[in-house]
Amino acid sequence: MRTKAIMIAALLAGVASQPLSAKEGMFTPEQLPEIADDLREAGLELDPNVLSDLTGFPMGAVVSLGGCSASFVSPQGLVVTNHHCARGSVQYNSTAENNYLENGFLAKTMGEELPAAPGSRIYVTTEFSDVTQRVRAATDDLSPNERYNTVEQRMKDITAECEQDAGYRCRVASYYGGAQYKLIKQLEVKDVRLVYAPADSIGKYGGDVDNWMWPRHTGDFSFYRAYVAPDGSAAEYSENNVPYQPEHHLKVSAGGLEDGDFVMVAGYPGSTSRYAMLAEVENTFGWNYPTFQTLLTEWIDTIETAAPEGSDARVKYESRLAGLNNYEKNLRGQIEGARRVGLIERRREREEALAAWIAADPSRAAYGPAITDLSELAQESAAASRTSFWYGNATRAQLLGVAQRLYRLAKERQKPDAQRDSGYQERDMAFFRQGLQALDRRYDASVDKAEWKLFLDGYIDQPQAERVAVFDNALGLNGVDDEKQLDAILDDYYEGTSLDESETRLALMDASVAELEASNDPFIKLAIALYDYEEGLKEEGEERAGRALALRPAYMEAITQWQSEQGKLPYPDANSTLRITFGNVMGGSPFDGMYYLPFTTLQGIAQKDTGIAPFNAPERELELIAAQDYGKYELDEIDSVPVNYLSDLDVTGGNSGSATLNAQGQLVGLLFDGTFESVNSDWDFDPRTTRSIHVDTRYMLWVMDKVDGATNLIEEMDIVD
């Protein structure tokens, strides 16, 4: 074996010899044939053209969880995703006495698998088609509100036609700011069961301290299973259901990767803002992000105080705390990254360069007025978001949200189903009901009250111009200037409501407008009082959206033509549809004098371990590390089992759980994070600092084999060397 000194020197030399630039681009599947040469040059051994087939191999094995990505890894519907994506289901099934978050969960047989959290879904893509002409036809001369309503109604009509096939969920997705629309049809697997999740001491090792950081040593993986009715159709949970048999599943590599190897990620990135205009960037980084980041810090402290460690309330709020901590750290990274790269000035320079390109050719002149109008609209929208910020937070109480949704549902049900707003059509009722049910495991009155009080304190401190009279009058905030007065108001709400009871919430789904308006529940009364004001905000937002539908496609056409002339293949901003990004295993140098090695090792787990969360690896794992019991999962060049690795792939939120594939399309890891320096790439791609973090399949298999005894799952999967 080589000495550690020689090993580290070799790795440093490898990093130094590699290019510092990451590969930009979250490409849609249909774009891949256009970059076939780039894919081959990077190392892909599959035919690049097969990657554009969403129902073929390997893309047919990639699925969405509706917020995270995942993939099939067995013929029996076994699905692998990130631990943090499945953690809500682990939390839902946990109590203070039976805490799967702390102890982990493993079903040794299918009969022991647990239902995932209500509303959990696995979406399997079956069809993909262009519907741009049908959506956009004859909308140019309409008023903004008419345009918005027409486009929305057409999208709902297309969706309804698609969903005439029972068991499918369809979506019309917008690309390039509304210049293109695609219809995506997916099998909606409703019976999702939790199969295996390692304990937080593995799956969340390092916790919020290590989040977004490198080096990382996190076993961020878990397994679900998809179930369907015996005839193969989508069905709600039933003991009679059988495992779904996918047409394609991924083989899992135990041989893994080496430094410099080709990798690609296929998943469902949520959103990026790389084409956002200067006014949007200025508002986001000059006001919105700093303000919300401060509020998030206070919000986290409030929950931790109201829900002490070890309490049932803390178990209920673990998922929320994890999400808030993740978001708070992400915002700090975004703010720091924007400062580091001079994002606002870079965006100003881009808009000036685009304007010069337009002015250089009279045939481009039509772009100018549209872009000017869009810039003014962006400034108007930014001002509206600042004005509504504190009111929006002041109405965050969970039971108020329930009351508002129930009253809105009653109102929407007065319309034909096809004309109802999204979220309130019959297709949405299963989610609606399951959301009301899930509240039982994610709500505690004392914590909710503490949160609401925090938000109201911030709202009350704002100038009168930032406050909403109807809200102040309905809640009785006029003249409130001390804690006792506010406490008394909130106590009346929590003592006088029955919305904290699941049976009440579910029964009110069938209530009429008149029945709700006769209710004495304080949260329902407040929701009714705010309804007209909220509808006004909604109409104002739709008017701005309608104007954007006319203006942004012209802006996107200009900017994509401009980029094409510079030799770039323009790709649309992420929008929760399937994207492919590719590159290589690669360390990096985000700052002068700093190197990131491409792999972390088992030894790093032991070095970080303190025995106290979040650095509290299981004793069994530490014993195996001390004994250097690596089995067949060792990577020779690091003399250990690789835990996590870096690549130069272009990813964002929603990519969590995405399959990381090697040159042959085998699973070699799961994407779960980016480095702290990378998060600002949502807005502006920085080739020097962009690095994504993956959990290595060798570490996954090592934990399953030697730590948790999940040999039943190893035997079920196709493991290849």
Give the position of tokens 């490898």: 14
Q: What's the longest Cα–Cα distance across the chain? A: 78
Task: Out of 174, 647, 656, 692, pick the active-site residue.
Answer: 656
Task: Give the three-class secondary structure for 719.
Answer: strand
Q: CA angle at residue 187 from 186 to 190, to 5 degrees? A: 125
| Consecutive H or E run containing 646 | strand 642-647
To the query of whether residue 656 is one of the catalytic residues in this protein, the response is: yes
SS3 content of the chain, % helix, strand, coil (to 5): 50, 15, 35
Distance of CA 350 to the CA centre of its chain: 28
Task: Out of 220, 448, 573, 684, pick the active-site residue.
Answer: 220
- Contact of 225 with 191, CB cutoff 8 Å: no
Amino acid at 342: G
> At a CB cut-off of 8 Å and minimum separation 6, what does 478 contact?
472
Report the distance separating Cα 646 and Cα 431, nearest Å. Answer: 36
C-alpha distances out from residue 600 to 83, 229, 459, Å:
19, 43, 45
If we measure between CA atoms, which residue out of 649, 654, 637, 633 comes closest to residue 698? 633
The DSSP 8-state label assigned to residue 414 in this structure reads T
Q: How many Cα atoms occupy the beta-carbon half-sphere of 397 within 13 Å?
A: 27
DSSP string, 104-172: -EE-SSGGG-EEPSTT--EEEEEEEEE-HHHHHTT-TTS-HHHHHHHHHHHHHHHHHHHTTSTTEEEEE
The pair of structure tokens assigned to 244 is 């779904």
Report the distance separating Cα 428 and Cα 573, nearest Å. Answer: 26
Report the distance separating Cα 498 and Cα 399, nearest Å. Answer: 10
If we measure between CA atoms, which residue out of 691, 626, 694, 717 comes closest to residue 21? 691
> At a CB cut-off of 8 Å and minimum separation 6, what does 403 contact?
499, 521, 523, 524, 526, 527
- Contact of 405 with 398, CB cutoff 8 Å: no
Q: How many helices (H) and strands (E) in the chain?
A: 25, 20
The DSSP 8-state label assigned to residue 179 in this structure reads T
The β-bridge relationship of strands 719-720 and 252-253 is parallel
Q: CA quadruple 406, 412, 417, 418: dihedral positive or negative?
A: negative
Task: Give the three-class secondary structure for 250.
Answer: coil
- Contact of 671 with 220, CB cutoff 8 Å: no
Report the distance separating Cα 649 and Cα 146, nearest Å. Answer: 41
Task: Out of 83, 84, 217, 694, pick the active-site residue.
Answer: 84
DSSP string, 49-91: GGGG-TTSTTGGGEEE-SSSEEEE-STT-EEEE-HHHHHHHHH
The DSSP 8-state label assigned to residue 570 in this structure reads -
Amino acid at 461: D
Residues in the chain: 721
Report the distance separating Cα 533 and Cα 510, nearest Å. Answer: 24
Report the distance separating Cα 248 and Cα 229, nearest Å. Answer: 19
- Contact of 89 with 117, CB cutoff 8 Å: yes
If we measure between CA atoms, which residue out of 208, 184, 230, 194 comes closest to residue 62? 184
Q: What residues are labeled active site?
A: 84, 220, 656
